[in-house]
Structure 1
Amino acid sequence: MKKLNIISAGLVFGLLSINAFSAGNHTFALSHYGSPNDTVTKATEFMAKRAYELSNGRITIKLHPNSELGNSTTQIDGTRMGTIDIVVVGNPYYTTFNQELNLLDLPFLFSDEKHVNKVLNGDIGTYLLNSLEKFGLRGLAFYEIGFRDITNNKRQIHSSSDLSHLKLRTTPNSAHISAFKAWNANPTPMPFNEVYFSLKTGVIDGQENPVHHIYNNNLQEVQKYLSMTHHAYTAAPMSMNLDRFNSLDIEDQEILLKAAKEGAELEKQLNIEENKHYLDKLKQQGMQIELSPDISSFQEGAKKAWEDYSKKYGNETINKILSEKI
């Protein structure tokens, strides 16, 4: 697909209020975790506008950002039950019922953004999206949270040994938890909408998320140290209640799929741009940043997560992903 026009998208963000769309033949509630400035918010606004345009007004998508319909677990459960139509949440929240998706959260599986796009836009990505159907969901596209880096308030992280005994918020994903335990940290899963307060009050020492997500959620206000570990990539699948998707005619199904993929591509472009910009902003706001941590020390500790996945699902798909490196 041709590169989206970022300037036009910017006008959309500045001028468009999706919630003001008049009702068409189909009105869908789309829930996600993103704050007002987050790239997932901009991308879903764009996706909603494209669906409205492509359907000549038949499809209206009402956005519910910033976890206003509940935390990530509640949002995805609501979509499976049909109280929410469409959801975007981090891949780890899907792995609580679809453990095969743990594959995408294996530490150091992906080398960079190009590698991610090649895999998720290919046969493996299609297979994983389709695997959601047995759980009552229709995968529409892979949005993303991105490559994760570590922040905390205790000390700078130069190598995995510096994580010793730090209480870090992680996702509920077993691959993430296994890796942080191997690094001798104390992984503490919790919903993201609880993270800021937990950092501020000292319930946890730190967390791990991409730079754009750190900045847009103001975590620099309650965190001192940032280490650019890029230790794991987190996808954020957009999925729809399967019965609701199947109730649509083929044309409207294809419109939703097209609009969802265009929004996902836009989000990835924005994340690349914003990560560079916001890293400088974080430095200006006082965060101490380790740009070159000892990645080899983290890779060694990540082996158990890979072994656990391989025992259950084998190495074939992992090896195929590794062979896709550009």
Structure 2
Amino acid sequence: MTEITRRAAIAAALTTPFIARPLHAQAIRLRFAHPHPASDSWETAARLFAEQVKERTGGAVTVQIFGNGVLGSDQTIIASARSGALDIALTGNPFFTGMAPRLNALDLPFLFRDRRHVTAVLDGAIGDGLRGELEPHGLHVLGFWDIGFRNVTNSRRPVQGPADLRGLKIRTTPNPAHIKTFQLLGANPAPLPFTELFTALETGAVDGQENPTTLIRNARFWEVQKHLSLTRHAYTTGILAMSKRRFEALPAAQQEAVMAVANSITPQQRAMNEAADAQALAELKERGMAVVEAPDRDAMAAMVAEPVRRDFVERFGSELPDAIGNAAA
């Protein structure tokens, strides 16, 4: 063995233990999935969440983001988080209501007055109670993020009032409140995962859909939809939920760090999305969408608000929708 070779062997022997057990080897990696496009505030806020979790835990916990539905549909990522195959799922409240139907109260039409009202509900005692609805289903809620007030688009005609919706095949979520709302308005609701929606609109499998302006813009629905009506017929929150098993396996300090970051990022994400509304609407107009800015919301509300609420009350009582309606903004 030459001197050079001997020195190299000694150096390798001395450094091998550190290579095999680097300081970051014990880092916990959390996989975080959501269905929204990269241009959406969910992606921006998710990346901030990842950065701050890493910083707050000194690199002991890292978060890997999978956006734009790359890990599957809304229902798939929820199921994966429940099973522990995925660590964090973020998607719309309507997709959680199949397992936790009391959450459907948040989707009742024409219930929320504005975002201040939403904040009072989600960040207060009502929201705290609703978080517990998902615990028996293997999910720990980290926060309620913003999707926004839903509006109708379609490829066939302007929607000025309820009569213009008759006969239109409108994609909805699988949420009972959304489905019943469009049935009462005379449309044909067609529940589909968000990840399948653009193709369904492009091929004419459905005539239209209903989502906030930010998602309509970010998902490029203006390429396949001509008409937008600002119906604001329901508000939708997104639930940021972690696998309960995975959360409880974290050391207490890391649990606290994840919750602290979620509590910090949640209002930032809501503010981002609210600020993007006006910009999204302006861009959709520039892209050629014909916008009905003041449809007859009163006529729509008169047709749907009470019957849809009644369905919920018959199953769960009036306490929750009454509390939401009376919450002070």
Task: Indicate whether the TM-score tops 0.5.
Answer: yes
State the Cα deviation string for residues 32-86 of structure 1 (Å, max 9, x = none).
0111101100011111111111111111001111111111111100100110010
Map of 1:304 onto structure 2: 307
State the distance in 2 between where 1:243 and 1:194 align. Answer: 30
Report the Cα offset of residue 23 of structure 1. 6.5
Map of 1:318 onto structure 2: 321
Report the Cα offset of residue 145 of structure 1. 1.4
State the Cα deviation string for residues 195-226 of structure 1 (Å, max 9, x = none).
11111111100000000100011000100000
Maintained 8 Å contact 1:156/1:162: yes
Report the Cα offset of residue 25 of structure 1. 2.5
Amino acid at match of 1:315: S
State the Cα deviation string for residues 128-172 of structure 1 (Å, max 9, x = none).
112211011101100121110000011111111110010000000
Q: How many residues align?
A: 305
State the distance in 2 between where 1:111 and 1:219 align. Answer: 26
Map of 1:147 onto structure 2: 149
RMSD over equivalenced CA pairs, Å: 1.1
State the distance in 2 between where 1:264 and 1:215 align. Answer: 22
State the Cα deviation string for residues 217-242 of structure 1 (Å, max 9, x = none).
10001000000011011111011111
- Where does the alignment leave 5 or more consecutive residues of structure 1 unmatched? 1-21
Report the Cα offset of residue 305 of structure 1. 1.1
State the distance in 2 between where 1:248 and 1:58 align. Answer: 11
**Which 4+ stretches in 1 moved above 4 angstroms?**
none
State the distance in 2 between where 1:233 and 1:273 align. Answer: 16
Amino acid at match of 1:65: G
The 1:108–1:23 alpha-carbon spacing in structure 2 relative to 1, beyond 3 Å, is farther
The 1:24–1:107 alpha-carbon spacing in structure 2 relative to 1, beyond 3 Å, is farther
State the Cα deviation string for residues 230-265 of structure 1 (Å, max 9, x = none).
101111101111111111122211111121222221
Maintained 8 Å contact 1:111/1:325: no
2:227 is the alignment partner of 1:252: no
Report the Cα offset of residue 24 of structure 1. 5.5
Alignment of 1:1-326 (within 5 A): 25-302=27-304, 303-326=306-329
Maintained 8 Å contact 1:148/1:231: yes
Amino acid at match of 1:183: L
Return the TM-score normalized by structure 1: 0.91
**In terms of mean alpha carbon deviation, does 295-304 or 164-173 score higher?**
295-304
State the distance in 1 between where 2:234 and 2:26 align. Answer: 40
Secondary structure, counterpart of 1:155 in structure 2: coil
